[in-house]
Chain A
Amino acid sequence: MQLTVWTYEGPPHVGAMRVATAMTDLHYVLHAPQGDTYADLLFTMIERRKKRPPVTYTTFQARDLGGDTSQLFMDAAREAQERFQPAAMIVGASCTGELIQDDPGGLSKTLGLPCPVIPLDLPSYSKKENWGAAETFYQIVRTIAPHGPDKTDAEGSTGRPSCNIIGPTALGFRHRDDVREIVGLLEAMGIDVNVVAPLDASVHDLLLLKQADFNVCLYPETGKTACDWLKRSFKQDYTKTVPIGVGATGDFMREVGKLASIDEAELEALIDEQEVRLPWYSRSIDSTYLTGKRVYLFGDATHVIAMARVAQHEMGYQVVGMGTYSREFARDVRDAAEKYGVEALITDDYLEVEEQVQNLQPELVLGSQMERHIAKRLGLPCAVISSPVHVQDFPARYSPQMGFEGANVLFDTLVHPLTMGLEEHLLGMFREDFEFNDEAGPSHLGHGSSRAPVQTETAPEIEIEASIDSGGETVTELRWTVDGEAELKKIPFFVRGKARRNTEKFAAERGLAEISMETLYEAKSHFSR
């Protein structure tokens, strides 16, 4: 049993819903108890979709459990087929449905429905949402794609190289605009986009998947399983670089260029002429104060890996910690973390992430909706870079994360929560202003953004004491003198947590029991870079 305050991912059947809802003529019959229809409002409210998700739930109740729940499922499946006339159906169970073991796949086979029925086996107690989406899409592709015409049968071929875009789903973080951005980029490179799937694809479109020369895997969490299978089955190679950030977008274009046999010099010229503002904005002197800002990243693997590169190499921040809840991609995140000299945190436990953020005392947190809770509690600036997200991160305006326009969006996103340059200087100089002070929060965010009362400054102390204890050395209770504490308060708030930690570490290493103003400055000079 795991104590969860927040969960990073939903159950796997929500992943299956994301695929079904993304597509246009697929229906999902889900064996689930009354109440599981809450998932509909993820799509109708959070993503503001205009139609009900194509999902029929059996919504069984306690009184049904004594009777024939398998009959309930069969009736629901038959009626759903008659009412919605889908081109194909997927069938499966939610977590409670899994416990009553009615075998939706076997049952629907006996119904002899007049469309392909794809059974889903999604283990709810060991797997999660993204895995569910990847598995569902893979099962659908595996069932449908082999029946399509081969590349040689393709009609109206333009002679240009062509690719599929794999991975975007309903309820994906900025998937809508990422697809538009990347389709534009591929077209600029002279490449035809054959099929985008599952987002806005029909079952018929999946029949055409085979005809592309290669695949663009935009979101490995939801698309890699299908890409691997397409590679095995139809020899379609797929891209490994996710085009988030200026550098990664360039690398992505080079990778695509190889797959599509595009002339290298031509390609470099094309990359050079793309209009992107991030590099200049980042170089302009206004951004100098961003140098070395300590940033912590957490989210799905794809966004964390990509965003770490943007933060460190394109914004000039310092990555002080990163992690992911995507266990399937733990190795990739570990490899990336190594490059920044940090150890990756692989967990789906919100409390562990909170603890790490608290210990690292970053100046900026880049994470999901969940990290916003943590940042609020710790009084830290935060921007959202990954699912899970809420309604405000399905914006009306064009806001891709990918490609060159995506990079422009990222620059704004990664700077906005920070206190702006002049204000930061003035806060360091004058500490007692009644209006602009540490507790007030950045003034460009309005007065509603006041910093939450923070326990962080005392909490790390406990951690320090514990570490001394475990070190087997003399257990010293660290105490701040009045002048030491007062001097600490004069350090700007966004680095104060780090200063406290360093000073205490410094004192502990030297066996000091008391931290005075002197100790503080000793430590400052000791740790100065």
Chain B
Amino acid sequence: MSIAVDKIQLPPIVGCGERPVLKERGQHEVFCGLTGIMWLHRKIQDAFFLIVGSRTCAHLMQSAAGVMIFAEPRFGTAIMEERDLAGIADMHDELDDVVAKLLSRRPEIRLLFLVGSCPSEVIKFDLNKAAQRLSVRHSPDVRILDYSGSGIETTFTQGEDACLASLVPTLPAEPDNAPAELMVVGALPDVVEDQFSRLFKQMGIGEARFLPARLADDMPPVGPNTFFLLAQPFLTETARVLESRGATLLQAPFPLGAEGTTAWLKAAADAFGISDETFESVVDAPRSRARRAVEKLKPALEGKSVFFFPDSQLEVPLARFLHSELDMRLTEVGTPYLNKRLLAHDLNALPDHVQVSEGQDVDIQLERCRAERPDITVCGLGLANPLEVEGMSTKWSIELVFTPIQGYEQAGDLAELFARPLNRRTRLEV
């Protein structure tokens, strides 16, 4: 079965709020936004992420990243101690000392993020003020920004949203009469970024800029003639602040799979007045490659049921891909936060019967999952092994954030990520 592009390219969305969404409160088995640092510190090579928090925050970071042996990690934690909380030490002075120590140890750092945590937010420690003060002190060698990655405010990938949103006000302003420019927003694997770059260039859109850039001093300019595409669905706040700087959001499904990628690229092509002919000539070959790669995995996945626990906000676009390009059967699609505007295209492509849920009450959701007995359960690492022991196949969701999955050349890899757990289960004889 070949899937027509127009299946995704729906007309402007009306009444997308009508799909009943199950909203839940209770125990959330999710990461906090600090974990975004895990990939952001690799993406922006001369940035350092300094968490202002507790030992719990430091422990989280090293439990997640500690399996890598670092000569020198580009993140750390300023751990608040009892004397800080008791007011014995002035926390701003203390932080200044920590930052000075850090920057002397790492002179190559050009951009420093002070990252807020639950403890620093609860005691209302003003990191914004600290960032401004420290920026003055360490200017022009180092720019210092702040954002919150606390669990009380952010879930997992929302940490990237908060980080990028903090960057937006510092982006150079593009003059009002500047020619239209395309900005792609959301940290992408380098290889994916390069592929998109080439495709836009071939279409004649010119040099697309990426946010975040790989180097601190290379961040893209923004202005009323900037059109931006979101490469990731979790960038609510970043999109808002970009719009407040006059940039225009190009609405599209997210670039997952052959059809998602096509529709995403098409949104940019249309905005830049690229002819259908040119567009087709550029995407034809890679789109066919992607379709073939996905088609190859279809026998393994077609008709299989899948259940998503909330994790990254990638769940809705992923579900759309699995449903429309692999004919998988969706049961529940859980997401930590549902932005109906940004996800309109993906959401509308889901069949009506699919339960979309926002938020979580993990024990109750586990009961629903067990009752469904899905063929594949997409969930976090805290749930994956225990569910495997119960005889369920799981796909741990974090891998979907840490693997190149966007764009044509990765469409097959993305499908493979879901096929692999099933393949493995049939292989093992012990």
Q: Return the chain B residue nearest A382 by Cβ.
A: B69
Interface set, chain A 37-54, CB cutoff 8 A to B: 37-42, 44-46, 48-52
- Across-interface contacts of B84 in A (CB, < 8 A): 1, 125
In this assembly, does A474 line the interface, its C-beta being within 8 Å of a C-beta of chain B?
no
Which of chain B's residues has its CB closest to A96's CB?
B118
Q: How far is the CA of A58 from the CA of B28 in the complex (A)?
A: 8
- Please tell me if the beta carbons of A95 and B56 are within 8 angstroms of each other in the complex: yes
Interface size class of A (residues with CB under 8 A): 35 or more
Any chain B CB within 8 A of the CB of A57?
Answer: yes
| A34-B151, A60-B152 known; A96-B34 Cβ under 8 A | no
Contact with A48, one of B28, B155, B382, B385 (Cβ below 8 angstroms): B385
Chain B nearest CB from A268 CB (Å) reads 44
What is the CA–CA distance of A391 and B67 in the complex, to the nearest angstrom?
Answer: 7
Contact residues of A between 493 and 523, Cβ < 8 Å to B: none
Given contacts A7-B55, A34-B32, A95-B55, contact A125 B71 (CB under 8 A): no
From B26, B70, B81, B151, residue with most partner A Cβ within 10 Å: B151
Find chain A residues with CB under 8 A from B81 CB: 1-2, 125-126
A222 contacts chain B at the CB level, 8 A cutoff: no
Chain A nearest CB from B259 CB (Å) reads 34
Are A1 and B98 also in contact (CB < 8 A) when A44-B386, A99-B122, A390-B66 are? yes
> A143 interface residue, CB < 8 Å from B?
no
Whether, in the assembled complex, A83 has its beta carbon less than 8 Å from a beta carbon of chain B, the answer is yes
Given contacts A4-B78, A41-B63, A44-B386, contact A34 B152 (CB under 8 A): yes
A36 — which chain B residues lie within 8 A by C-beta?
32, 56, 151
The answer to whether B82 and A62 touch across the interface, beta carbons within 8 angstroms, is: no
Residue from A36, A125, A128, A390 whose CB has the most chain B CB atoms within 10 Å: A125
Judged by a CB distance under 8 angstroms, whether B121 is at the interface is yes
Nearest chain B CB to A314 CB, angstrom units: 28
Nearest chain B CB to A91's CB is how many angstroms away? 15
Q: With an 8 A cutoff between CB atoms, is B421 at the interface?
A: no
A3 CA to B114 CA in the complex, in Å? 13
Closest to A64 in B: B152
Q: Which residues of B contact A289 (CB under 8 A)?
A: none
A10 touching B55 in the complex, CB below 8 Å, given contacts A45-B381, A99-B119: yes
Instruction: Specify which of A2, A10, A40, A62 is in contact with B29 (CB 8 Å cutoff).
Output: A40
Question: A372 vs B78: C-alpha distance in the bound complex, in angstroms?
Answer: 22
Q: Which of B2-10, B87-95, B221-229, B281-289 contacts A (4 or more CB under 8 A)?
A: B87-95
A165 shortest CB reach to chain B, Å:
27
A38-B152 CB under 8 A given contacts A2-B78, A96-B118, A388-B66? no
Task: Report the minimum CB–CB distance from B65 to chain A (whole Å).
Answer: 10
Expressed in whole angstroms, the minimum distance between the Cβ of B279 and any Cβ of chain A is 42
User: In the bound complex, what is the Cα–Cα distance between A126 and B84 (angstroms)?
Assistant: 11
Query: Is there a chain B Cβ closer than 8 Å to A86's Cβ?
Result: no
Q: In the complex, what residues of A have CB within 8 A of residue B151's CB?
A: 33-36, 59, 61, 96
Q: Name the residue on A nearest B384 (C-beta).
A: A44
Q: Are B56 and A100 in contact (CB under 8 A)?
A: no
A271 close to B (CB within 8 Å): no
B382 engages A377 (CB within 8 Å): no
B132 contacts A by Cβ under 8 Å: no
> A-facing mask of B89-123, CB < 8 A → 1, else 0?
10100110110011000000000000000110111
**A129–B58 Cα gap in the complex (Å)?**
13
Which residue of chain A lies nearest to B388 when distances are taken between CB atoms in the complex? A50
B383 within 8 Å of A by Cβ? yes
**Given contact pairs A6-B66, A33-B32, A124-B55, A96 touches B386 in the complex (Cβ within 8 A):** no
* A416: Cβ under 8 A from any B Cβ: no
B residues near A5, Cβ cutoff 8 Å: 73, 76
The answer to the question of B59 belonging to the interface, with a C-beta cut-off of 8 Å to chain A, is: yes
When A62-B121, A125-B82 are in contact, do A369 and B382 touch as well, CB less than 8 Å? no
In Å, the complex CA distance between A492 and B121 comes to: 53
Chain A residues whose CB sits within 8 angstroms of the CB of B66 once the complex forms: 6, 369, 388, 390
A1 touches B95 (CB 8 A): yes
B178 lies within 8 A of chain A by Cβ: no
From A53, which residue of chain B is reached at the shortest CB distance? Answer: B382
- Cα-based distance from A37 to B381 in the complex (angstroms): 10
Closest CB in chain A relative to B98 CB, distance in Å: 5
> A34 is contacted by which of B76, B155, B385 (Cβ under 8 Å)?
B155
Question: A44 with B381: in contact, given A38-B31, A56-B27, A125-B82 (CB under 8 Å)?
Answer: yes
State whether A52 and B382 are in contact (beta carbons under 8 Å apart), knowing that A4-B77, A7-B77, A100-B122 are contacts in the complex.
yes
Hey, which chain B residues are within 8 Å of A2, CB to CB?
78-79, 81, 98
Q: Are A52 and B386 in contact (CB under 8 A)?
A: yes
On whether the beta carbons of B79 and A4 are closer than 8 Å, the reply is: yes
Whether the pair B385, A45 counts as a contact (CB closer than 8 A) is: yes
A124 close to B54 (CB less than 8 A): yes
Bound Cα distance from A34 to B118, whole angstroms: 9
Chain B contacts for A267, CB-based, 8 A: none
With A6-B66, A33-B151 in contact, do A38 and B27 touch (Cβ < 8 Å)?
A: no
The answer to the question of B363 belonging to the interface, with a C-beta cut-off of 8 Å to chain A, is yes
Q: Nearest CB to that of A12 among chain B residues?
A: B55
Contact with B along A381-422 (1 / 0, CB 8 A): 000000010111000000000000000000000000000000
Residue of A nearest to B367 (CB): A83
Nearest-neighbour CB distance to chain B for A450, whole angstroms, equals 13
- Whether the pair B70, A373 counts as a contact (CB closer than 8 A) is yes
A455: nearest residue on chain B (CB-CB)? Answer: B71
A128 engages B60 (CB within 8 Å): no
Nearest B-chain residue to A79, judged by Cβ = B363
Report chain A residues within 8 Å CB of B430. none
A116 contacts chain B at the CB level, 8 A cutoff: no
A327 to chain B, nearest CB (A): 14
Q: A4-B76, A5-B76, A7-B62 are in contact. Are A50 and B389 (CB under 8 A)?
A: yes
Check A7–B30 contact: CB distance below 8 A: no
Specify which of A46, A96, A369, A376 lies most central, judged by the most chain B CB atoms within 10 Å of its CB. Answer: A96
Are B56 and A94 in contact (CB-based, < 8 A)? yes
- With A and B bound together, what is the CA distance between A52 and B384 in angstroms? 9
Task: State whether B56 touches A10 (Cβ < 8 A).
Answer: yes
Bound: A111/B58 CA distance, A = 34
Q: Does A441 contact B (CB under 8 A)?
A: no
Task: Judge whether B410 is part of the interface by a CB distance below 8 angstroms.
Answer: no
Chain B 121-138 interface 0/1 with A at a Cβ cutoff of 8 Å (1 = within): 111000000000000000
Asked if A452 is at the interface (CB within 8 A of a chain B CB), the reply is: yes
Interface centre among A34, A76, A99, A372 (most CB of B within 10 A): A34
- Cα of A57 to Cα of B361 in the assembled complex, Å: 11
- Which B-chain residue is minimally distant from A40 (CB atoms)? B382
Q: Is the CB of A4 within 8 A of B58?
A: yes
The docked-state distance in angstroms from the alpha carbon of A60 to that of B389 is 29
The reply to whether B60 and A35 contact each other, CB–CB distance below 8 Å, is yes
Tell yes or no: B150 within 8 A of A by CB. Answer: yes
Residues of chain B with a CB closer than 8 A to A460's CB: none
Q: Could you mark each residue 375-394 of chain B with 1 if its beta carbon is under 8 Å from any beta carbon of chain A, else 0?
A: 00000111111100100000
Please state if B152 and A11 are interface contacts (CB–CB under 8 Å). no
Asked if A11 contacts B59 (CB within 8 A), the reply is: yes
Q: Which residues of B contact A64 (CB under 8 A)?
A: 152
B312 to chain A, nearest CB (A): 14
Contact across chains for A38 and B119 when beta carbons are under 8 A apart? no
With A58-B27, A390-B67 already in contact, the answer to whether A50 and B386 are too (CB < 8 A) is yes
Q: Identify which of residues 1-21 in chain A touch chain B, using a CB-to-CB cut-off of 8 Å.
A: 1-7, 9-11, 13-14
Chain A residues with CB under 8 Å of chain B are 1-7, 9-11, 13-14, 33-42, 44-46, 48-52, 56-62, 64-65, 76, 79, 83, 94-96, 99-100, 123-126, 128-129, 369, 372-373, 376-377, 388, 390-392, 452
What are the 3 closest A-B residue pairs judged by CB atoms, nearest first? Answer: A35-B32, A35-B151, A40-B382
New A-B contacts (9) at CB < 8 Å, excluding given A7-B55, A9-B55, A125-B82:
A2-B79, A3-B77, A4-B78, A37-B382, A45-B381, A50-B389, A96-B56, A96-B118, A390-B66
What are some 17 contacts across the A-B interface (CB < 8 A)?
A1-B95, A3-B101, A11-B59, A34-B151, A38-B35, A41-B381, A49-B386, A56-B27, A59-B26, A65-B122, A76-B27, A95-B54, A99-B119, A124-B54, A126-B82, A129-B59, A388-B66
